[in-house]
A and B are shown apart, each in its own frame.
Chain A
Amino acid sequence: MWRIFITACRTALFTLILTGVAYPLLVTGLAQVLFPGKAGGSLVQDERGQVVGSELIGQAFSRPGYFHPRPSAAGEKGYDATASGGSNYGPTSQKLRDRVISDLESLKKQNPQAAAPIPAELLTASASGLDPHLSLAGVQWQLPRVAAARQVAPERIDAVIHDYLQGRDLGFLGEPRVNVLLLNLALDRHFGRPH
């Protein structure tokens, strides 16, 4: 028994150093050499070279001239990247029902020109609370508002949207999507910052 215990301790120490220290440090080293940008968080800069976020982490937008992301349950403020998570409300939750109704009203108020009905995506919180994407329908539903706020013809903005529309990976995996942060950055580059 004592002998087995000693082996257990030695094996624990050996595996701890091998898989708990050497392995992650090796992968970190290789990743930093091979893919430094991606290993570092895919950070993106605006036209002035300031880091404005990560391409992969959604962030909130509220001005009418920007496209808005999905509702977020990450932290109280929403899009709090240090508190990722979903709402975890089930389909019979009164709290979910109330949230949807209240969001629906403000979306309708902010988007008087929008063609009904609203895509469900704009009323549902993602699993991570940091979803950086919208579907094409979720973006295009907001197009009249963004165009009016920026006083730009909708067709020109729609062209930018299509530049940023990503298809399915390898042609069949996942869903087509638009990265909201990259799209808004592109709008600023093309048409200047909104007021």
Chain B
Amino acid sequence: MTINGWLQISIFFLVILALTKPLGTYLYRVFESPEKPLPRVFGPLERWSFRLCGVDPEAEQTWKEYTLALLLFSLVGLLVTYAILRLQHFLPFNPQALGPVPPDLAFNTAASFTTNTNWQAYGGESTMSYFSQMAALAWHNFISAAAGLGVALALARGITRRAAKGGEAPRTLGNFWADLIRSINYVFLPICVAAALVLVSQGVIQNLKPYETVKLMDPYSARVTKKDASGQEVKDEKGNTVMEAVKVETQTIPLGPVASQEVIKEFGINGGGFFNANSAHPFENPTPITNFLEMILIFALPAALTYTYGRMAGDQKEGWVIFGAMALLFLVGVGVTYWAEARPNAALAGLGVEQSAGNLEGKETRFGIANSSLFATVTTDCSCGAVNAMHDSFTPLGGLVPLVNIQLGEVIFGGVGAGLYGMLVFVILAVFIAGLMVGRTPEYLGKKIESREIKYAMLYVLIFPLIILSFAAWAAVAPYALSSLNNAGPHGLSEILYAFSSAAGNNGSAFAGLNANTPWWNLTLGLAMLAGRFWMMIPVLAMAGAMVGKKTVPPSLGTFPTNGGLFLGLLVGVILIVGALTFFPVLSLGPVLEEFLARQGKFF
């Protein structure tokens, strides 16, 4: 660990802290204030958007209508994406003449992008046409993020809306279409255009040209698997793979519209890379400056939403308590990862190798240990899943932090919207537990928390580990699943666990050695992603519906204050107890066991 490393981490956090209030205020004006920002610029676009989509933004929806709109819209998105991927060879912008995406992979990818997971069972540069990247995938980066934001707004409205004096209790949560379209028009598009150009100025590519083949300065020979005319591997009599020497004289450099996709991938907390190596690829993330900007883009919206929420609740301290709980868990996570990754890699131990820089396997020279550790923490605190280093090659404890971040439910800033609504579920639970401890009916922002809300909260909390652990258990005993592993021993279990945690948590990063592009993995991970998104959104929206009409009671002496340090501590405690204890047994067999074995110099 170096002072400069800590300096980078501190400056990153301070920039996020500084952005929270201005961006949060802007979001409040976009979604909650009748006077929208910059009416001259955005006014005409907004009116045209609503007219073309046939939306009346003033038509308020109940939780059922809001949910139905969200589900139907997601279904349409899923089907359109599947169709584009299957038909990409007939569509424009395909200079490499890539063929149709196979059905299981197309389903997995469509599910992945619809759910804001952006799990990638494919390598972008060898599978997706430019049209598929732009229209099928980057499109979802916008709309899935916008949909998540909508759910958070709906829950926040459910908690904070109050009956006007003497008026009827509110029953509605806003309008899904208005939230969706406004977030694209006012928030995502303008910032993405500006940020994309900054990325291009640093070297991120943006073009529609075919791949460029260059002649190498220093041709070399390499040993590769021999393949016959049909592309099948050639085997000798004993069934072993035959290798042959080839002369490599050229390098094919992939191109494409990367910058436009890169920014929304981070800002919408999607994480699906244009290339297989994601944000480690020099064309996606060429310099430490782009790396810094990309990390800021990931954290900006979820951090700002805590401020927006405080504004909606009528007490900024309510927002800052949530920010504080998130910040505390983030800083602990990044500290542990950085410490773990700055230690030597066990596979290089005892060979007289100079390892003072830390564990460099799977990391880029330009980023170094501090930026790789910070990025890994940021991307898993949020449901982003972009990576600038390979988490599979992290030290056991360095890889444990991203895994735990996901398993805590990605509430540490979290996804666009998903982070805030996940955190609010934990807030409700924490309030409930505090109420049990003092023996009084719990209330939050003047609204009583009753059994119906707690049932929805428990559904939210229990569905998540159920998806992860059931599928992971199946994979751990099925030969057709195990054959995809890249690492043996406890690290193999970590690969399985990470895959389903990432899918159910809609994160999308991976212990990427796992070959997930098989029919079984594509199908199960696709289902885990859909369940992790929609089975968890529905209880949240139901909770919003249950909360919105409740009478508010003025705070009394017995009310547990939710805007101070004590509640912050309680909230962090609830997150850690609920999230971490659920997964502790399996984590002890994966990363924790691996750490002890690595220290003893065991290899698998």
Contacts and interface: CB of A to CB of B under 8 A. Distances in A.
Given A30-B197, A31-B196, A89-B392, A60 B359 contact: no
B139 A16 contact: yes
Given A11-B55, A134-B365, A32 B289 contact: no
B181 A85 contact: no
Interface in B200-223: 200-209, 211-212, 214-218, 220, 222-223
A92 B353 contact: no
Contacts of A100: 347-348, 351, 353
Contacts, number: 408
B364 A131 contact: yes
Given A24-B138, A57-B251, A117 B352 contact: yes
A87 B393 contact: yes
Interface in A28-81: 28, 30-32, 34-35, 38-43, 46, 50-63, 66, 70, 74, 76-81
B53 interface: yes
A101 B349 CA distance: 11
A178 B193 CA distance: 31
A109 to B, nearest CB: 15
B203 A172 contact: no
Contacts of A159: none
Contacts of B8: 172-173
Contact of B193 (A1, A11, A23, A90): A23
B241 to A, nearest CB: 11
A38 B290 CA distance: 13
A121 B287 contact: no
B490 interface: yes
Given A77-B222, A91-B393, A120-B360, A27 B282 contact: no
Given A23-B260, A28-B260, A128-B364, 13 more contacts: A18-B49, A21-B134, A23-B193, A28-B257, A38-B203, A41-B205, A46-B217, A76-B224, A87-B361, A87-B513, A89-B487, A92-B347, A96-B347
Q: Which 10 residue pairs are nearest across A and B when measured between Cβ atoms?
A: A174-B288, A88-B513, A20-B139, A127-B280, A84-B277, A175-B368, A86-B390, A173-B288, A20-B135, A128-B277
Interface of A: 1, 4-12, 14-16, 18-21, 23-24, 26-28, 30-32, 34-35, 38-43, 46, 50-63, 66, 70, 74, 76-94, 96-97, 100-101, 104, 116-121, 123-135, 137-138, 168-170, 172-175, 177, 181, 184-185, 188
18 contacts: A11-B177, A19-B139, A19-B264, A27-B193, A35-B201, A38-B204, A41-B207, A46-B217, A54-B283, A57-B283, A70-B365, A85-B390, A88-B393, A89-B392, A89-B487, A124-B345, A128-B277, A168-B288
